[in-house]
Amino acid sequence: MPLPEPSSVLPAQIAQNLARVRSRVDDAARAAGRAPSDVRLLVATKTQPADAVRAVVEAGADLIGENRVQELVAKAPDLADLVAAGRVEVHMIGHLQRNKVNQVLATATGVESVDSLALAEALAARCARDGRVLDVLVQVNVSGEESKSGVRPDDAPALATAVVALEGLRLRGFMTIGANAPDETVVRAGFARLREVRDAVAGSGAPGTGDARELSMGMSGDLELAVAEGATIVRVGTAVFGPRPTPR
C-alpha cells in the first residue's frame, strides 16, 4: 500500500484539534453524569503519515488505533521509540485476517477487532509462543449492517467466554461501530445493546470475564451518544487531523 504524503497540517493545529476533541469528550461525560477520566480518547490514524501521528502523541495522545495492517507495519519504525518508552499504546481497530497476525503483533499492544474464534486462537497461539499477554476486545455488529464486521450481539457472550479460555489473551471488553442511520434513537439503541452485552458477560461470574469492562464505541459523529451509553473508549480521527490525505 502506498504511504501517504507527509502531513500538511501543522503540529500546533493538530494539538489544538486534539484539545478540542478531548474537551468535547469531557463535556459529554459530564452531561452523562460521568467522570471525564472514565473515557479514553483513541486517535484513529488511518491514512495519516507517521509525522502526523508523532505530532498527536507529542500533543498528549496516549492511545492510537490503526485500521490497516499495511499502514501499521509501515509506520512502526518511525513510532517505535514512542511505543518502547510507553508514551503511546497502539491498537488494531480494523478487520484482521489470521495470516496477518504476526505482522500486527510486532507493534500492536491491543486488538479491538476480534470477531471470530479462529482469529482469537491465532492471536493466542502467537502470544503464547512469545510469552506475552495481549489485551483484546470482541467486536460486535450491533446494527446488523452487512458492511460492518463483528459477531451478532446474541453470539458475543459465547465468543467472549471462548476468548477468556485462551492462554495469551486477556479479554478487556467489547467494540462496535455505530449504526449508519440519521435517527439518533437507532444509533443510541445500538450502543445500549453493546453495554447490555458487556454487563451480562462481566457480571456472569465466569472465570476471566470480570475485567471485560471496556466499551469501545463512538466516533466523531456520534461520540456523545456513545458516552451517554457508557463508552470507555471513543475513536476519533478526522476531527483531530482534518480531512484524510490522499495516498501516493
Domain assignment present for 246 = no
Give Cβ neighbours of residue 182 (< 8 Å, ≥ 6 apart): none
Measured CA to CA, the distance from residue 22 to residue 62 in angstroms comes to 12
Domain assignment present for 3 = no
Domain assignment present for 243 = no
Domain assignment present for 22 = yes
Judged by DSSP in three states, 72 sits in: helix
Cell of 37: 477520566
Domain assignment present for 130 = yes
pLDDT of residue 244: 67
Domain assignment present for 174 = yes
| 236 within 8 A of 22, measured Cβ to Cβ | no
Nearest to 215, CA basis, from 192, 233, 202: 233
Q: For the chain, what is the domain count?
A: 1
Cell of 10: 501543522
pLDDT of residue 10: 87
Domain assignment present for 6 = no
- The model's pTM is 0.93
pLDDT of residue 5: 57
Reading the chain (248 residues) residue by residue, the pLDDT tens digits are: 455 555 567 899 999 999 999 999 999 999 999 999 999 999 999 999 999 999 999 999 999 999 999 999 999 999 999 999 999 999 999 999 999 999 999 999 999 999 999 999 999 999 999 999 999 999 999 999 988 999 999 999 999 999 999 999 999 999 999 999 999 999 999 999 999 999 999 999 988 899 999 999 999 999 999 999 999 999 999 999 987 655 55
Check which CATH number belongs to the domain holding 54 and give it.
3.20.20.10
Residue 184, domain extent: 11-236
pLDDT of residue 3: 53
Burial class (CB within 10 angstroms; exposed 0-12, middle 13-18, buried 19+) of 86: exposed
Alpha carbon 136 to chain centroid, angstroms: 10
pLDDT of residue 103: 96
- Angle, to 10 degrees, between the axis of helix 184-202 and the axis of helix 156-164? 40
Domain assignment present for 1 = no
